[in-house]
Amino acid sequence: MKLILKIIKIFPPEASHIIALHCLNILYKLKILNLFFPKFEKDSFEFVGLNFTNKLGTAAGLDKNGDFINCLGALGFGFIEVGTITPLPQSGNPKPRVFRLSKDSAVINRLGFNNKGVEHLVKNLQQKKYKGVVGVNIGANKNSRDQKRIDDYLICFERVADYADYITINISSPNTPELRNLHNEKNIKLLIKSVEEKSRLINYSGPIFLKISPDEPANLIKQIAGLIEESQLTGLIISNTTVKKNNLIEDKYKHYQGGLSGKPLMEQSTKSLKIIKEAFPQLPIIGVGGVMSKYDFDTKISSGASLVQIYTGFIIHGPQIIKQILSKH
């Protein structure tokens, strides 16, 4: 399996990502996936009214369109988060737009919410065989602005509500122009109010998370957490990728546009997590960003996360990271 991973990584990063997922899907459909990646003992628990088989899940971006829910679920993840999805399909930013930083154990992406649109995702959610928790991460189309951008979130929210165990509102991708402006007080209040109204209108009772940027100042993320605690929304996912690249070993990537994930994000995202947990100890938090090992996973949990998501760690180390993280020995 290590040889297969090495061969897959010969291809450009974005292509190797898709090839790897298709390989997993083939093994799943041939019913031999668990010969390569055996299942292990479940460690079930309840969080925000949902039952999870364990605390490790996939972060949004790994399976944007819900095309690989079944095979990812069969690997032993406790939950799957698909997306980010937008109302209309969009191709995203020009290629190349994903870069491997081997020396840094990191990835820079400037994908730009490339996805097949919410209707494609809904079809996959309707047909999935995986019985575990599936969250849906929603966003806005690139060309939407102001109220239209808010409307995009509401369109996605309503379409996925009947099929999502929880919904994540993504305001923190650095690759959609001005999206992070939704962090400011006026915009975030409008977004929260709009989501609350839509939730009441369609009688949605599941959890709703807001995924935030690690690049905002502490006072702003505490302000957002306070607004979430006072609202009908459930909690925060901390955090998305960072645009800060000053700590990279490979100098040539320090000025690349896009979001940085992987090992260099761990400290920054966990710092934001600790700040929020200390200020709002009762607020439900899902931790993500830089989880490359069991130690990183345990650090997120001890810092206040109830669940942890991985993306780049899975891409770099392959499916065996699941067993390594969840092993009790």
Q: Which residue has the tokens 């109830």?
A: 306
The catalytically annotated residue of 173, 213, 239, 303 is 173
Is residue 238 within a helix (H) or strand (E), and if so which, with residue range?
A: strand 235-238
Tokens for 61, please give them.
């971006």
Hey, how many other C-beta atoms are within 10 angstroms of the C-beta on 42?
12
Tokens for 67, please give them.
């095309």
3-state helix, strand, coil in the chain (%, to 5): 40, 20, 40
CA–CA separation, 50 and 172 (whole Å): 25
CB within 8 A of 227, min separation 6: which ones?
Answer: 188, 189, 192
Is residue 227 within a helix (H) or strand (E), and if so which, with residue range?
A: helix 218-230
Is residue 109 within a helix (H) or strand (E), and if so which, with residue range?
A: strand 106-109
Concerning whether 173 is annotated as a catalytic residue, the answer is yes
Residues 156 and 85: beta-carbon distance below 8 Å: yes
CB within 8 A of 35, min separation 6: which ones?
Answer: none
Tell me the catalytic residues: 173
